[in-house]
């Protein structure tokens, strides 16, 4: 009498869709640069050509922590500021539930909603600049 043997499951067939590949370092840097210029993942994929798609480009950039413009009226603006100022904002953000860029946007929105406050702060900043030049 023979005992039944356990049947091995058949391996799953892979779909014949797009092949996945790893992006090279210089390609990721190019993608990140283009994202910093405000391009969407679809635009980046089109510019790179080949087998790149917007979904793959977006996934790769998110994997490396690159922020992408959202759909709608979001825009990217590059800022030049001192390392000291950035570290100070990151220190403030570390005590909050937001990261430093989000804190900067929140503060800017508050100032835009209060034009008198913004004007007063800008006047005060100009006074500090004039005093520093003397």
Using the structure block, give the residue that is written with the tokens 């950039």: 61
Q: What is the pLDDT of residues 22-76, one digit of tens each?
A: 778 888 899 988 888 878 888 898 998 877 888 888 888 888 888 776 666 667 6
Calpha distance 43→49 (Å, rounded): 10
Model pTM score: 0.47
Q: Look up residue 111 and give its DSSP letter.
A: H
User: Could you tell me the residue ranges of all domains in the chain?
Assistant: 25-63, 83-133
For 88-104, how does the pLDDT look when each residue is reduced to its tens digit (9 = 90+)?
999 988 888 888 888 88
Q: What's the number of CA atoms in the CB half-sphere (13 Å) around residue 28?
A: 13
The rounded radius of gyration (Å) of the Cα atoms in the chain is 25
DSSP assigned state of 92:
H
């Amino acid at each position: 009498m023979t005992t039944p043997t356990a049947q091995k499951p058949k391996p799953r067939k892979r779909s014949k869709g797009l092949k996945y590949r790893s992006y090279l370092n210089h390609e990721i840097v190019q993608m990140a640069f283009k994202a910093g210029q405000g391009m969407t993942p679809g635009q980046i994929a089109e510019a790179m050509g080949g087998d790149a798609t917007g979904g793959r480009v977006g996934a790769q950039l998110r994997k490396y922590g690159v922020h992408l413009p959202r759909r709608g009226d979001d825009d990217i603006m590059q800022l030049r500021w001192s390392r000291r100022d950035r570290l100070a904002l990151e220190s403030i953000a570390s005590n909050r539930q937001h990261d430093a860029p989000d804190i900067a946007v929140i503060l800017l929105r508050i100032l835009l909603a209060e034009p008198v406050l913004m004007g007063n702060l800008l006047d005060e900043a100009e006074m500090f600049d004039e005093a520093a030049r003397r």
